[in-house]
Structure 1
Amino acid sequence: MHMEIGEILDNIYPLSDLSKEKLISHISEVVLPKRHLLIKNDRIEHKLYFVKKGIVRAYTTKDDTEITFWFGKEGDTVVSMNSYINQQFGYENIELLEDCTLYALSSSRLQELFTQDIEVANWGRKFAELELIKTESQFINRQLRSAKERYEELLSTKPDLINRVQVGHIASYLGITPVSLSRIRAQLK
């Protein structure tokens, strides 16, 4: 499966053909290998990415343990919001879990387009709103739902991830051990 850039952009916010072409003209396609660290928490990231093909994960490290808190797949946006908004180091590392084809867009070029095209500016506002909702949802789910409920949600919203992502990463995302994840899976069968 893969997603074309026009479809990804429209899923964020529909643009006229002219504005979409203007935005697409500044987007390049990059192919990177599995395990590549796309975004590092110790640097400012000057690009945002859209996943054409592949799976990525966002994680942070605490006490030498990686804690996965998000998975992205075809059609998803990959961005360090702290870098994008504040031009500061991000909080996350983004690792490619498969060989990936990504669309890359310079944050500074996007900011220039915001001043030149109101449709692109509205697209950017919608993009930021969707990223905020995604973050809020992750936070609430981690605070209010059990690991089993979060696993069931993962099964219903991104079922293909289960076969494409290592069990250890899924367990980390759920905040449990792989053994506990095996028990949850057995209960659901």
Structure 2
Amino acid sequence: MTPSVEGLYFVEKTRIAVPAGSILPSAFLRFFHPISDKAARFIDSKAFQCSVPKNKFLLRSGQTCPYLFLVNKGLFRGYILDGKTEVTTWITAENDLVSSISSFFDQSPSLENIQALEDGELIGIHFDDLESAYQKFPELNQAARKVLQVMYRQAEERAFLVRLTKASSRYAYFQQTKPDLLNRVSLKFIASHLGMTLETLSRLRGSILRPNAEAQEKRI
């Protein structure tokens, strides 16, 4: 694969053993469900670390995603194309999973593009290695089920978000659920994710920030 292809290129180009101090898959799974030390050693032995530079792509639409990733460092977004318009479907950061979920589990071409919004470091595991781990260690199936429950809840929240009719309600919901991303993500991506124009988002932010600034001045 040549560098011009980008998607999955950086996974193979930068792939290394997981460095000491990084989040291991076993630690992530144990947050959801207890697993044996033997299962932990097996799944950790299959993991690797890779890096994706800012603005580059982890995955391109049309590619099949053979990996599931845990974000160790950085910020990523998924988006689809509606004609020539990029529609941001999700934004996520450290300690969360990243993949084209339907592509990964079905091993079928992805509809999504996955782009790094900051220099990113990821812990990855191959689909075949994960399936092997499930077969060898039944407790990993229970842990994975609980992870999927969280992912389903997140998907439900995104579905709820886009059905809010007022732009102000969608932005308020994003503020409440993703406060740590407000100052890390470009406004154009937040606007796309919330289904509004950049101008509408800027106006909303201005209407919120202006009273706060005035209140601060009065206290001074």
Instruction: For residue 179 of structure 2, give the secondary structure of its aligned residue in structure 1.
Output: coil
Q: Paired residue for 1:135, among 141, 152, 155?
A: 155
The structure number with the bigger radius of gyration is 2
Pair 1:41-2:61 in alignment: yes
Q: When the two structures are superposed, what TM-score results if normalisation uses the length of structure 2?
A: 0.79
What are the equivalent positions in structure 2 for 1:96-107 lying under 5 Å apart? Answer: 96-107=116-127
Matched, 1:27 2:47: yes
Residue of structure 2 equivalent to 1:188? 208
In structure 1, the partner of 2:16 is none
Distance 1:17 1:155, change over 3 A: farther
Q: Which amino acid aligns with 1:109?
A: D
Structure 2 distance, partners of 1:3, 1:185, is 36
Report the AA paired with residue 146 of structure 2.
K
Verify: 1:169 aligned to 2:189, yes or no. yes
> In angstroms, what is the RMSD of aligned CA positions?
1.9
Q: Return 36-45 or 137-146, whichever deviates more.
A: 137-146
**Partner Cα separation in structure 2 for residue 158 and residue 21 of structure 1:** 33
Query: What is the CA-CA distance between 1:99 and the residue it aligns to?
Result: 0.3
Q: Match of 1:4? A: 23
Q: Which runs of 5+ in 2 are unaligned?
A: 1-20, 210-220
The answer to whether the 8 Å contact 1:53/1:101 transfers is yes
Q: Please give the per-residue CA displacement for 1:86-143, whole angstroms capped at 9, x wherever unaligned.
A: 2111221110000001001101110111010011121222222222222222112211
Q: Decide which of 120, 133, 150 is 2:170's aligned counterpart.
A: 150
Distance 1:16 1:152 in 2: 42
Equivalent positions of 1:19-98 (< 5 A) are 19-98=39-118
| 1:3/1:51 contact within 8 Å kept | no
- Unpaired segments ≥5 residues, structure 1: none
TM-score using structure 1 length: 0.90
- Inter-CA distance 154–10: structure 2 relative to 1 (3 Å threshold): farther
Q: Which amino acid aligns with 1:116?
A: K
- How many positions carry a matched residue from both structures? 188
